[in-house]
Amino acid sequence: MPPKKAPVQEKKSILGRPSNNLKVGIVGLPNVGKSSFFNVLSDTDLGKAANFPYATINPEEARIPVPDPRFDWLCESYKPTSKVPAFLTCIDIAGLTAGASTGAGLGNAFLSHVRAVDGIFQVVRAFDDAEVIHVEGDVDPLRDMEIIQTELRLKDIEWVEKHLEGLKRGGRSLGNTSLADKAKKEEIATVEKVLKTITDESKDVRKAEWTNKEIDVVNSMQLLTAKPVTYLVNLSEKDYIRKKNKWLPKIKAWIDQNNPGDPLIPFSVSLEERLAQLSPEEKEEEQKKIGAPSALGKITNAGYQMLDLIRYFTCGPDEVRAWTIRRGTKAPQAAGVIHSDFENKFICGEIMSYGDLKEHGSEAAVKAAGKLRQQGKPYEMQDGDIAYWKAGG
pLDDT tens sequence across 324-376: 999 999 999 999 999 999 999 999 999 999 999 999 999 999 999 999 999 99
Q: What is the pLDDT at residue 329?
A: 95
Higher pLDDT, 33 or 55: 33
What is d(CA 194, CA 205) in angstroms, rounded to the nearest whole number? 7
Mean pLDDT of 242-252: 95
Q: Note whether 333 and 387 are within 8 A (CB).
A: no
Listed range (68-72, 204-208, 275-279) with the worst mean pLDDT: 275-279
Give me the pLDDT at residue 10, please.
Answer: 66
Q: Which residues are annotated as a binding site?
A: 31-36, 235
Question: pLDDT at position 61, please?
Answer: 83
Q: Which helix (H) or strand (E) holds 194?
A: helix 179-198
* DSSP codes joined into one string, 93-140: -PPP-TTGGGT-TTHHHHHHHHHT-SEEEEEEE----TTS--TTSS--
How many CA within 13 A on the CB side of residue 168? Answer: 10
Please report the pLDDT score of residue 346 as a whole number. Answer: 96
pLDDT, residue 156, reads: 92
Q: Which of 63, 55, 62 is nearest to 29 (CA)?
A: 55
* 164 closest CA partner among 182, 189, 139, 140: 189
**pLDDT value of position 50:** 38
- 185 close to 171: Cβ distance less than 8 angstroms: yes
Superfamily for the 328-391 domain: Beta-grasp domain (3.10.20.30)
Residue 160 has a pLDDT of 95
* Residue 111 banded pLDDT, cuts 50, 70, 90: confident
Among 340, 351, 337, 344, smallest CA distance to 389 is for 351
Backbone angles phi, psi at 52, to 5 degrees: -150, 155
Mean pLDDT, residues 292-305 taken together: 93
User: Is 28's pLDDT higher than 70?
Assistant: yes
**Cβ partners under 8 Å of residue 17, min gap 6:** 118, 219
Residue 17 pLDDT > 60: yes
Q: Provide the residue ranges of all domains of the chain, joining segments of one domain with +.
A: 328-391
pTM of the model: 0.87
Count of other CB atoms within 10 angstroms of residue 285? 12
Bigger pLDDT: 55 vs 141: 141
What per-residue confidence (pLDDT) applies to 46? 36
Q: What is the mean pLDDT of the chain?
A: 87
Asked whether the beta carbons of 262 and 230 are under 8 A apart, the reply is yes
Percent of the chain with pLDDT over 70: 85
Task: Assess contact for 142 and 251: CB atoms under 8 A.
Answer: yes
Calpha distance 42→351 (Å, rounded): 33
Among 73, 67, 94, which Cα is nearest to 297's? 67
Contact 125, 28 (CB under 8 A): yes
Confidence of residue 103 (pLDDT cuts 50, 70, 90): low
Mean pLDDT check: name the lowest of 114-123, 162-171, 203-212.
162-171
pLDDT of residue 44: 45
Per-residue pLDDT band for 185 (boundaries 50, 70, 90) equals confident
Q: Which residues are annotated as a binding site for ATP?
A: 31-36, 235
Mean pLDDT of 132-155: 82
Instruction: Name the band, by pLDDT with cuts 50, 70 and 90, for residue 188.
Output: very high
Contact between residue 28 and residue 34 where contact means Cβ atoms under 8 Å apart: yes
Contact of 95 with 25, CB cutoff 8 Å? no
Helices (H), 277-326: 280-290, 296-306
DSSP labels for 315-352?
--SSEEEEEEEETT-BHHHHHHTT-HHHHHTEEEEEEE
Window from 173-187, 252-266, 286-300 with minimum mean pLDDT: 173-187
